Chains A and B, each alone.
Chain A
């Protein structure tokens, strides 16, 4: 009997390990949202995409850590030197202006989405269904108006808008900073809320998008907006400063 107890105990322990492993595996796979398809090529491709994405995330984390370390080292090095610490402050300000740091502040959040309420039957003969979806030009116009209203930092679906940002059409999605983003679009802007409100003025572009083109537009001010930093790089090879 003692022997049998021991056997049950060991098998029970194995079952704990086993079902624990199965549960973790199932959760990992469902978390990724990928299931094994019937097509082998498709599976291999999906597998390599997921692996590359994970590698990218890991490297990005490393980069973040390295940047923090650099920041710390700079702080340490300039601690006891007024001139250097002034320069350090300047680097910080310039980085913020270039969009290389996360920023927080008050501003506005605009939600832009395609018109989901129309169908092929309900749409009029003369209405162009193409006008019922958000285009790259709409985003460009809105971003432009926000800049005009004095926005200090803008992001579209967490892609920071900087000096060399490109907003372009890429089939059914829009490419911003080379990253594909799709509807619904969340445009965040930090700046003086009173002036930024003018973007949503009557007969303004955004207003027209809502009431003339019948897109789904939501505009609200917020006291606390966080805009992520620009993750790309600035290249300056041909332009030289004249001084």
Chain B
């Protein structure tokens, strides 16, 4: 169900994005960092679904707060002439990898247990 929602969302979003007007180059840095923040939030959401502690409010607020905060940090960095967005990037991408590891482990475990179950049931049938 969730996987279908993700795929459908991505397809619809891509269609909208292809037909939407492009933004000025000056603001493209902000959009880029917001995209990375949103990506991190989505990965975090999937992880929490797997861990079964998913909270809708936390997810939605996290999605928007992360994006807005990262944009604000990038803007501040531009004012101060320091690449603060790099720090945000490191955090987001680092967390994405952690979440990806959790998701991967979950599915690998699921797969393994299915195989062992099959083997067990096969053995039982033989007996």
Which A residues have a C-beta under 8 Å from some C-beta of B? Answer: 4-25, 27-29, 31-32, 50-51, 54
B4 beta carbon closer than 8 Å to chain A: yes
Q: In whole angstroms, what is the CA distance A12 to B5 when docked?
A: 5
Interchain CB contact under 8 A, A5 and B1: yes
- Point out the residue from B12, B16, B28, B59 that lies within 8 Å of A10, measured CB to CB: B59
A31: chain B residues at CB < 8 Å are 22
B115: chain A residues at CB < 8 Å are none
Name the residue of chain B whose CB is nearest to the CB of A22.
Answer: B35
**Further pairs besides A7-B2, A7-B54, A14-B45: 6, Cβ < 8 Å:** A4-B1, A15-B10, A16-B9, A19-B11, A23-B17, A25-B32
- Point out the residue from A6, A7, A9, A18 that lies within 8 Å of B42, measured CB to CB: A18
B1-52 residues with Cβ-Cβ distance < 8 A to A are 1-2, 4-6, 8-14, 16-18, 20, 22-26, 28, 31-32, 34-35, 38-39, 41-42, 45-46, 49
Main secondary structure of the interface of A (DSSP, over half): helix
CB distance from A26 to the nearest CB of B (A): 8
Interchain CB contact under 8 A, B42 and A14: yes
CB distance from B100 to the nearest CB of A (A): 16
Interchain CB contact under 8 A, B35 and A25: yes
CB distance from A213 to the nearest CB of B (A): 41
- Point out the residue from B26, B38, B41 that lies within 8 Å of A54, measured CB to CB: B26
Interchain CB contact under 8 A, A29 and B59: no
A51: chain B residues at CB < 8 Å are 25-26
Interchain CB contact under 8 A, A14 and B38: yes
Q: Tell whether A24 pairs with B42 under 8 Å between CB atoms, given A9-B5, A14-B9.
A: no
Q: In whole angstroms, what is the CA distance A181 to B15 when docked?
A: 38
Interchain CB contact under 8 A, A21 and B34: yes
Name the residue of chain A whose CB is nearest to the CB of B13.
Answer: A19
CB distance from A211 to the nearest CB of B (A): 46
Q: Tell whether A18 pairs with B35 under 8 Å between CB atoms, given A4-B1, A10-B60, A11-B6.
A: yes
- Point out the residue from A14, A20, A25 that lies within 8 Å of B41, measured CB to CB: A14
